[in-house]
Amino acid sequence: MLAEKIACLGVNHQTAPVEIREKLAFADDCLSPLVQIKEIVGCDECCFLSTCNRVEVLLVGKAGDATIAAARDVLFADSGLSGAEAAQYSYLFTGSAAINHVFRVAASLDSMVLGEPQILGQLKDAYRLAIEHRATGAILHRLLSKSFSVAKRIRTETSIGGNAVSISYAAVQLARKILGELTGKTVLLAGAGEMAELAAEHLVAQGVAKVVVANRTLERAVTLARRFNGEAVVLGELASRLADADILISSTGSPDLILRKEAMTPVMRQRYHRPVFLIDIAVPRDLDPDLNDLDNVYLYDIDDLQQVVVANKGERRREADRAELIVAEETIKFLHWLENMELTPTITELRRRIDVLRDIELNRTLAALPGLSPEEKKAVTMMGTALVNKLLHYPLMFLKNSGAIEQKRANLSIFRKMFGLDSDHGSGDER
């Protein structure tokens, strides 16, 4: 069955801690792994998705053990992990489970922050890249397009997106839990991307007194800081600016640490050891884990945000349960589409062969009746076509509505044998 050709292999926040996920971070280079996976023997179609909290490859083809192992090797190529460790930290869904998983990812039911909207845009970007490089075909086109409409339906029919949250919002909630009210605080944002912008929006809503944006590109930092009446600095000033900041939220795309323990030690002396709260929401991590060894430095990474996320999930669980029912319904619909797609070649071949036989017999009959007028010949031809259609009606209805998947598979095999569709004979004169 076509459903069995679909597989999803990946790593996410549920299967691997941040120190493992950061080894798999592909940053802005999703093209290279996509091209490598496309060339794997047994892969007919593929799409590659990489976000802060997940790396996934969606495959269509003869996804046997060798194909899956090759795809996993691409994901873990630069991780330094053994094959056994790669298998331990990854998951594999096939068939209907893979379809269900893709729908859940698109609807953010599988996200760290339930109901966050960013994943849908990221999945669309991954799909667009796969199309541009001719990595997709009929099945992935349909599956991913359907995942987008499923996500839209869930947003429309449930309130899972109500009071929308994100990793950035969870970071702000954690800051409030540690520091209390944020009114009058100074916040330093490292990175001027979408994550930093979302964090700034939430922080301003909480009444922070000052926002300072540090970014490698000063122009981008100025643009973001202006939105919040803040101040922009270059990323190289990060350590010195920490002397006055109460909170640092770091979300750069740097492949290396931007703040190490040895750089923070003199800063803490300048602060007279006043507590400072550091939140690292970047993958790979921006901030040195050893910073936690310093007195009055409180460092939290993206996995620590899970505690805040749990509370959000509790509020959204009822709507999520409704969303899961929609996903289950849409998964069944997609399986039916695949089943009908599998029947199409059989139905097409049967009609072709029947039409050949009909034309042979009509030509013989008309040749034996030379005295017929054009109107009478047309009537005989129409009768032959009508008779074929009526005879095929119930067999085709039986084929399309033959129960469970296993039963359909058995009936399809019998149907093809009954009409000789797997034989080289049957398209000509049977007499």
Asked if the model's pLDDT at residue 430 lies above 50, the reply is no
Closest to 404 (Cα-Cα) out of 304, 336, 330, 337: 336
pLDDT bucket at 346, cuts 50 / 70 / 90: confident
Q: What confidence score (pLDDT) does residue 425 get? A: 52
Q: Do the bridges between strand 247-250 and strand 186-190 make them parallel or antiparallel, or are there none, so unpaired?
A: parallel
DSSP 429: -
For CATH 3.40.50.720, list the domain ranges present in the chain: 167-309
Which range is least confidently modeled, 136-145, 225-234, 345-354, 366-375? Answer: 345-354
Q: What confidence score (pLDDT) does residue 414 get? A: 77
Q: Tell me how far apart the alpha carbons of residues 93 and 103 are, in angstroms, rounded to a whole number.
A: 13
| Residues forming a β-bridge with 344 | none
Q: What confidence score (pLDDT) does residue 303 get? A: 85
Residues with Cβ within 8 Å of residue 289, at least 6 apart in sequence: 299, 301
**Which tokens is 379 given?**
């009537």
Q: What confidence score (pLDDT) does residue 118 get? A: 87
Q: Tell me how far apart the alpha carbons of residues 14 and 53 are, in angstroms, rounded to a whole number.
A: 9
Look at domain 2-164 and name its CATH class. alpha beta
Q: What confidence score (pLDDT) does residue 14 get? A: 92
Q: What's the rounded mean pLDDT across residues 267-287? A: 90
Q: What is the pLDDT of residues 228-275, one digit of tens each?
A: 999 999 999 999 999 999 999 998 989 999 999 999 999 999 998 888
CATH architecture designation of domain 167-309: 3-Layer(aba) Sandwich (3.40)
Asked if the model's pLDDT at residue 405 lies above 70, the reply is no
pLDDT bucket at 17, cuts 50 / 70 / 90: very high
Q: What is the pLDDT of residues 354-371, one digit of tens each?
A: 888 888 988 898 888 888
Q: Tell me how far apart the alpha carbons of residues 358 and 352 are, in angstroms, rounded to a whole number.
A: 10
pLDDT bucket at 27, cuts 50 / 70 / 90: low
Q: What's the rounded mean pLDDT across residues 128-157? A: 95
DSSP secondary structure string for all residues of 77-144: TTT---HHHHHHH-EEEETHHHHHHHHHHHTTSSSSSTT-SHHHHHHHHHHHHHHHTT---HHHHHHH
Does the annotation mark 52 as catalytic?
Answer: yes
State what percent of residues in the chain have pLDDT above 90.
50
How big, in percent rounded to 5, are the helix, strand and coil portions of the chain?
60, 15, 30
Q: What confidence score (pLDDT) does residue 164 get? A: 53
Q: Is the Cβ–Cβ distance between 46 and 130 less than 8 Å?
A: yes
Cα dist from 44 to 37, 330, 369, whole Å:
10, 24, 53
Out of 8, 46, 47, 52, the active site residue is 52
Q: Is 101 exposed, middle or buried (0-12, 13-18, 19+ CB in 10 A)?
A: buried
For CATH 3.30.460.30, list the domain ranges present in the chain: 2-164
Q: Is 406 exposed, middle or buried (0-12, 13-18, 19+ CB in 10 A)?
A: exposed
| Helix, strand or coil, per DSSP, at residue 285 | coil
Indicate whether this model's pTM tops 0.95: no
Q: What is the pLDDT of residues 72-86, one digit of tens each?
A: 999 998 888 998 999
More confident residue, 325 or 115: 325
User: In what helix (H) or strand (E) does residue 218 lie, and over which residues does it extend?
Assistant: helix 218-227
**Which tokens is 391 given?**
């005879």
Cα dist from 109 to 52, 94, 113, 168, 320, whole Å:
16, 18, 9, 18, 7
Q: What's the rounded mean pLDDT across residues 387-412? A: 75
Q: What is the mean pLDDT of the chain?
A: 87
Q: What confidence score (pLDDT) does residue 22 get? A: 87
State what percent of residues in the chain have pLDDT above 70.
94
Q: Is the Cβ–Cβ distance between 335 and 3 less than 8 Å?
A: yes
| Helix, strand or coil, per DSSP, at residue 259 | strand
| Helix, strand or coil, per DSSP, at residue 165 | coil
Q: What is the pLDDT of residues 175-190, one digit of tens each?
A: 888 888 889 999 999 9
Q: What's the rounded mean pLDDT across residues 378-406? A: 80
pLDDT bucket at 119, cuts 50 / 70 / 90: very high
Q: What's the rounded mean pLDDT across residues 339-348? A: 76
Q: How many residues in the chain?
A: 431
Q: What confidence score (pLDDT) does residue 340 get? A: 77
Q: What's the rounded mean pLDDT across residues 309-332? A: 86
Q: Is the Cβ–Cβ distance between 37 and 302 less than 8 Å?
A: no
**Which tokens is 247 given?**
């909170």
Q: Tell me how far apart the alpha carbons of residues 214 and 237 are, in angstroms, rounded to a whole number.
A: 7
Q: Is the Cβ–Cβ distance between 148 and 124 less than 8 Å?
A: yes
Instruction: Please report, as a single letter, which amino acid is at residue 163.
Output: N
Q: Is 63 exposed, middle or buried (0-12, 13-18, 19+ CB in 10 A)?
A: buried
Q: What's the rounded mean pLDDT across residues 164-176? A: 75
Q: What confidence score (pLDDT) does residue 338 get? A: 85
Q: What's the rounded mean pLDDT across residues 325-354? A: 85
Which range is least confidently modeled, 66-70, 154-158, 362-366? Answer: 362-366
More confident residue, 392 or 136: 136
Q: What's the rounded mean pLDDT across residues 94-115? A: 92
| Helix, strand or coil, per DSSP, at residue 294 | coil
What's the longest Cα–Cα distance across the chain?
A: 114
Residue for token digits 């950061």? 22
Q: What's the rounded mean pLDDT across residues 97-107? A: 97
Closest to 171 (Cα-Cα) out of 187, 155, 160: 187
Closest to 235 (Cα-Cα) out of 251, 210, 170: 251
Q: What confidence score (pLDDT) does residue 431 get? A: 44
